[in-house]
Structure 1
Amino acid sequence: MQAFQDEPFGGLPTLGMALIHEQARELGVVVLLDGNGMDEAWAGYDYYRRAGAIDTKIGPVQGTFTPSTHHPCLRPEFASRARPFVPEHPLRDPLRDLQYRDVRYAKIPRAMRFADRCSMMYGRELREPFLDHRIVELGLALPAAYKIRDGQGKWLPRRIAEHLLPDGVREAPKRPVQTPQREWLRGPLAGWADHQIEVALAGWGQDWLDPVATRAAWRDYRQGQSDNSFPIWQWISLGMIAGDEHG
């Protein structure tokens, strides 16, 4: 997967996406439709309801309550090279500026890169109807009342679909589909993850990561003191790259 992505990929969900395209090839399905863009353009994610309290400098990581970064694990000279993301506020509205961040910088560019590389890995065509620029522009232009009502997002698309879809589908709440990456890395994949992290610390990671702090964070994660697998996967990815480089 890293060879096809030309970079570390996002985690186990990317592997799951690749398996879908592999099965599509086996079944002779050439074109697949994806739903990227609907939640971003029409405020479908839960955090859009509290847009005014969201720090737009921090990218969204859902399903976790602990920080997505581990600065103490980085060597100071390496961490000093980081440049903060300075978000734009072109729409001058907390909700729409948050949507703009996700469409322009955070969620869509990342998701589309992984999705496109996965589909091309198996020669499948992936189409994104909800990323039609007219749909996205309309969603960003409209005020919040057309997107969020009674605590539920995507209000206007749901109304448009009243005569097209059954109520159970049209009014279904947002249900994120998450792989059990968090549980697997501290469970059945813990030994493999530990090996990859050690490979990372013995390779390029020794110049970038503080081994004592990194091992301590990994130990805390295995013991359930952190619920965010994002930094753990970054270290694993570094180990997989280092292992490939050295045969």
Structure 2
Amino acid sequence: MSEVAGALHDGWIVTKRNLIKIKRIPDLLIFSTIQPIMFVLLFTYVFGGAIRGTGVAYKEYLMAGIFTQTVAFGSSLTAIGLADDLTKGIVDRFRSLPMSRAAVLVGRTTSDLLNNLLVVLVMGACALLVGWRVHTGPWGALAGFGVLFLFAYAMSWIAAVIGLAARSVEVAQSAGFIWLFPMTFLSNAFISTSTLPGWLQPVADWNPISSIALALRDLWGNAPQGLARGDGFPAAHPVLLALLWSVGILALFVPMAISRYRRVSTR
């Protein structure tokens, strides 16, 4: 128990260090906030009139997908931050200090979760301005954001593995983004999976992005019905599947990231 408490204490210190770094480089936070706002406005006012058949107002259908995409893309900050610390020798400095080895990863993922929290807050305000609403009350809203941030934290651990495996910040940046684009767009984030070719629909329905987005729509009262909802277990139990995806990702990638960190910090 003392080791866990020590790791959490040291992790919080590293978290504050990373947050101070963001404060000193505000451009990073500004541009990570501008991107999701641009997606909200573009999809709402440019594509919203052309995308129909969801059974609900597109503004309400869209936002769960935008929130999910935003936190998924935000995980790339974890990969970039760890790669930057490795190339600059910060990790070697941490190794010389009397601190838990898990603190670097805990601090990195926690600080990026808090960064995601701020970005989602700003984006939520923008969404309210364009007409998005939660129809299930405060508890439904809180449950939805809880599912969203659990997924965001899980995605940060995937990015941690990528950042520790990359040999430069540039590689980490590319590797952190390149797999997210097909994962995001091959989902129900922006359109119903029923519009996809038949052989792609099961892939999109079981995509974790689809599970999170549909879970948020159910919890917020923005869910489509009929064919636009999808088919099978993912459509019938989106909240359960969303939680299983997040817990499964954490169970797989937390040990993988810790193992990788031990290797790179001793070479």
Larger relative CO (CA 8 A, sep 6+): 1 or 2?
Answer: 1
Give the structure-2-normalised TM-score: 0.30
Give the structure-1-normalised TM-score: 0.32
User: Is the helix fraction higher in 1 or 2?
Assistant: 2
